[in-house]
Structure 1
């Protein structure tokens, strides 16, 4: 199809929507939708990449207030900010506010993933996944994760003078989540998954406005390949379960395949299992790797904090026999370390923000948001609000010493409400285990500057190279 005709067909709905907006109400949020198709997308993406996105949004807030309209990814969008805004996004009924992502993301992730579903279907699938990932279920995997972290450190850290942290952490978290979700250990099949998922992630962030679509189209192709790989695993696991060759509780795929309702019908379809296992892998391994990377970065920058973490972890290590795995009870003793993790996620949230889509005309803070518009929220805007967190730029884990002092809907690295990340407990376990083994075995210092950029997840300069050496035993 001629490119000019394609552009015209795309622009007509936007012009009609703009016309409808002018006629509907003067209570539409202030701001501008900008140039059709482009809108403010380029400016926002540039701000993300140069690590000035918070300032970019702060400028909007100063100009328009906490509610303003703009256009991102060719779609009219309303940016909302603050504690009440977060609560509105996380707790609004799915009949009025859907979790539909921009079309490029949706194409890669699939139409039956939790990112796209609302209402009963979302509840059914999420409850099934949460049942596997709840703390009571994950307790039995602590020893296995401990073993994988030890093995990773033995291979990638022992005897090394320098380590580039982010790629190493991505390998480790990918292996852990492959084992937990797929029952898949290292080997050729796991390497195929890693290759496909890396290309999928690149495609997710290569938005279609960045012509000529090369990276996005590659990501789209790899998403099909990744789902095919998972589908093969699902079918293999189904056969094993039928022959009693696999336990229903050994990994997420086996667990979901084994779930049936009171009529004997499988709770999730094969398509739903495939797409949500892919989503779990994409959502779980990179976000956890980034969080652990920034913890390592911060411990290098904050020697007092590092010393306090080390003291807590050494107390736990002293209670263990040589080679003995950490337990669930050990993790629950890591209270200060977890406060450090929370403070890292406050200042460097792996996910900057997300979108919702209005299914009907709705009101927020006195403004009308028309049906079909996007709503955009951003975690750093409450994380770095001085009225919520005093001296927000200062790294202070003790601000979380009393959990009740943190207002609800303000610290949202995992989201909130019915759509809170179901893997938050898994992330806690693998993060605490990793920090325990690293701080008790090694010391390190940064080899590069402290800069980082977002694309859109935060990435330290050069992947955070560090100089490492074994810690001397006290």
Structure 2
């Protein structure tokens, strides 16, 4: 057992939260170079925290020792969503996962296919006439997906309610990225205070839906074995939150950029005709541009990570961006190479942690995968595209979700309108 490299500094003064949140990739990169390793100690949120940037360490944290590394019961997710499958620990979390698993597998998952196909066509059929597309277009698509699937609310049928919920979800989301200060004075409210108000309004809408709508997933929730009367509404709040549309928009944006231009024509054609290869492309997009930078846990007892001693009550943060670029597992880790998933890394998708991993992984990952494949296949079958103008700055920001700092504009041209030999770029 070895001592962790790095140091936790002193209370408050030694905290590195601002530096980390300003540029997490530079933060971990500089420290990995300094300590010559992918596990190190720092201080975040005024708690000594182990940063885990290796596949081995992430597997231990999320899988092998998930019973030791617990969710923080005091974090903002609990304030914003209450006791849910994401925020609880131990047996309660396991029971909630068991209760909700039927919503995201089997017949329930199969029943969403028609709706997913319709909204993909609705949002993506006129891209060439608009002449551009960006993160915001994909986020709108994702918003309609979750509000339609989980609340039976669609913009064509209930435009005012749809718009109200969309705005409230955005306000609520901002509470997750605001300082947890509940202040409200005349003419001004803190972001956290506004988020809490939005939460109350959303909960009122959700409870009305649960009581009066017996169709679809919102109707199914009423028959699930849940621990108390508030559990269904708290989980619906989580399922319709801006978190999911932003994650989907992040991955779709990265897919579009990765396959943009003349140099990727063959990649687009192969992904269009080979479902397995499309899966490889999406794995590689997820590997290089995970929508979430990582996640945080608290050690409930003394233990080890990657051979280093971790004292009880230390924090532990896994950095998916770094884990996915671990050169011990991923050869040429910074290169976009979908073929790796059919070669050296075949069958190793379980090493990715974009949506967590192990017993606490995202319960909706199969729905997310189905949606991404449907949207990406629609794009591949109907369009060629390129970054336009080509001089756009495409540097990524990584918090709160990964995406280019400046939303890119893309020029789409329909395949059925292209003359022979034209690639739309």
TM-score (norm: length of structure 1): 0.78
Give matches, 1:296-375, under 5 Å.
Answer: 296-300=256-260, 303=262, 305-313=264-272, 315=273, 334-375=275-316
Q: Distance in 1 between matches of 2:65 and 2:268?
A: 41
Aligned residue number for residue 232 of structure 2 = 273
Q: Where does 1:1-16 land on structure 2 (aligned, <5 Å)? A: none
2:52 matched to 1:80? yes
Q: CA deviation at 1:137?
A: 2.5
Larger proportion of helix: 1
The separation in 1 between residues aligned to 2:207 and 2:128, in whole angstroms, is 36
Q: Secondary structure at the match of 2:220?
A: helix
User: CA 1:471 to 1:409, structure 2 compared with 1: closer, same or farther past 3 Å?
Assistant: closer
Contact 1:133–1:422 under 8 Å retained in 2 = yes
Unmatched runs of 5 consecutive residues or more in structure 2:
421-425
SS at match of 1:52: helix
- Any conservation in 2 of the 1:81–1:377 contact (CA below 8 Å)? yes
Cα distance in 1 for partners of 2:86, 2:34 equals: 27
Tell me how far 1:409 sits from its aligned partner: 5.3
**Counterpart of 1:468?**
412
Deviations 1:146-167 (A, max 9, x none): 011111124x62521223x100
Structure 1: how far apart are the matches of 2:194 and 2:310? 35
Alignment correspondent of 2:318? 377
Q: CA RMSD in A?
A: 2.9
Deviation string, structure 1 residues 382-421 (Cα, Å, up to 9, x no partner): 2112221111111110111158635575322222111111
Distance in 1, matches of 2:188 and 2:58, equals 32
Q: Is the 8 A contact 1:357 1:372 kept in 2?
A: yes
Whole-Å Cα distance in 1 between the matches of residues 107 and 384 of structure 2?
34
Aligned length in residues? 407
Give 1:388's aligned residue: 329
Name the counterpart of 1:29.
Answer: 4
What does 1:416-431 align with in structure 2 at a 5 Å threshold?
416-431=357-372
The one of 141, 151, 164 aligned to 1:192: 164
- Equivalent in 126, 137, 150 of residue 97 of structure 2: 126
Distance 2:52 2:297 in 1: 11
CA-CA distance at 1:225 after TM superposition: 2.2
Q: Secondary structure at the match of 2:140?
A: helix
Classify 1:89/1:365 alpha carbon distance in 2 versus 1 (closer, same or farther; 3 Å). Answer: closer
**Which of these two proteins has the greater Rg computed from alpha carbons?**
1
- Does the 8 Å CA contact 2:60/2:66 hold for their aligned counterparts? no
1:443 alignment partner in structure 2: 384
Separation of aligned partners in 2, 1:396 and 1:464:
22
Q: Structure 2 length normalisation: TM-score?
A: 0.86
CA distance in 1, matches of 2:415, 2:96: 45
Show structure 1 runs of 5+ residues with no match.
Answer: 1-25, 241-245, 261-266, 316-332
Contact residue 443 and residue 470 of structure 1 kept, 8 A: yes
Give CA-to-partner distance per residue, 1:262-284, whole Å, 9 cap, x none: xxxxx243322222222223342
* Contact kept in structure 2, 1:101 and 1:356, CA below 8 Å: no
